[in-house]
Structure 1
Amino acid sequence: MLLNVVKSTVLVALASCIMNANDFNVQAEKDRIALIDYTIAKFEDGDKNRDKFFPYSTDDELKNNIQKNVKYEDLRKGNYAFNKQGQYSYNEINEMPPYDELVEKGEELYEDNKALQKCFPDVTVAGDYPYFDEEKKEVVSLTGAINKCLTDAGQKAWNEKKGKMAFFQSYIASETKDAEKKVNIQINSAEAAAAYERGKEFYYTQRGYLKLSCATCHVQGAGKRVRNESLSQLAGHTTHFPVFRLKWGKDKVENGLGTLERRMAGCVKDQGQVPPKTNSKEMKELLYFMAYMSNGMNVDGPDVRK
Structure 2
Amino acid sequence: MTIKIVKASVLALFAVSVLSAGAYNAQAEKDRKALVDYMMKKFENPLKNRAAHFPYSTDEELKNNMTPVTKVEDFRLGSYAFNKEGMAQYEEIKEMPPYEDAIDAGEELYNNTKGIKKCFPDPAIAGEYPKFDDKKNRVVTLTRAINDCLVANGEKPWKVTKGKLADLEAYFAAKSTEAGKKVDIKIPSKAAAEAYERGKKEYYAQRGYLKLSCANCHVQGAGKRVRREYLSPLLGHMTHFPVYRLKWQGLGTIERRIKGCEKNQGETPHKPGSDWTAEMVYFMSYMSNGLPVDGPDIRK
- Normalising by the residue count of structure 1, what TM-score does the alignment of the two structures yield? 0.91
Identity across matched positions, percent: 59
Secondary structure, in 3 states, of the residue corresponding to 1:180?
A: coil
Match of 1:221 in 2: 221
Higher Rg of the two aligned structures: 2
Unpaired runs of at least 5, structure 2: 1-16
- Give 1:285's aligned amino acid: E
Secondary structure, in 3 states, of the residue corresponding to 1:20?
A: helix
- Give 1:182's aligned amino acid: K
Match of 1:243 in 2: 243
Unpaired runs of at least 5, structure 1: 1-16, 250-255
- Are residue 293 (structure 1) and residue 279 (structure 2) matched? no
Contact 2:114 2:153 (8 Å CA) reproduced: no
TM superposition outliers: structure 1 runs of 4+ over 3 Å = none
Match of 2:187 in 1: 187
1:120/1:53 CA distance change after superposition, 3 Å: same
Q: Provide the C-alpha distance between the structure 2 equivalents of 1:119 and 1:68, rounded to a whole number of angstroms.
A: 42
Give aligned pairs, total: 284
Match of 1:89 in 2: 89
Match of 1:109 in 2: 109
- Are residue 21 (structure 1) and residue 21 (structure 2) matched? yes
Q: Provide the C-alpha distance between the structure 2 equivalents of 1:244 and 1:116, rounded to a whole number of angstroms.
A: 23
Contact 1:70 1:82 (8 Å CA) reproduced: no
- Are residue 302 (structure 1) and residue 296 (structure 2) matched? yes
- Give 1:100's aligned amino acid: E
Contact 1:244 1:257 (8 Å CA) reproduced: yes
Give the drift of 1:190. Answer: 1.0
- Give 1:203's aligned amino acid: Y
Give the drift of 1:114. Answer: 3.2
Per-residue CA deviation, residues 65-103 of structure 1 (Å, 9 max, x unaligned), is 111134211100000000111011100110110101110
Q: Provide the C-alpha distance between the structure 2 equivalents of 1:191 and 1:74, rounded to a whole number of angstroms.
A: 32
Alignment of 1:145-164 (within 5 A): 145-164=145-164
Match of 1:230 in 2: 230
- Are residue 265 (structure 1) and residue 254 (structure 2) matched? no
Secondary structure, in 3 states, of the residue corresponding to 1:132?
A: strand
- Give 2:274's aligned amino acid: S
Per-residue CA deviation, residues 156-187 of structure 1 (Å, 9 max, x unaligned), is 11110001000000000000111111101001
Contact 2:69 2:81 (8 Å CA) reproduced: no
Match of 1:274 in 2: 268
CA RMSD of aligned residues (A): 1.3
- Are residue 138 (structure 1) and residue 142 (structure 2) matched? no
Match of 1:11 in 2: none
Q: Provide the C-alpha distance between the structure 2 equivalents of 1:88 and 1:69, rounded to a whole number of angstroms.
A: 16
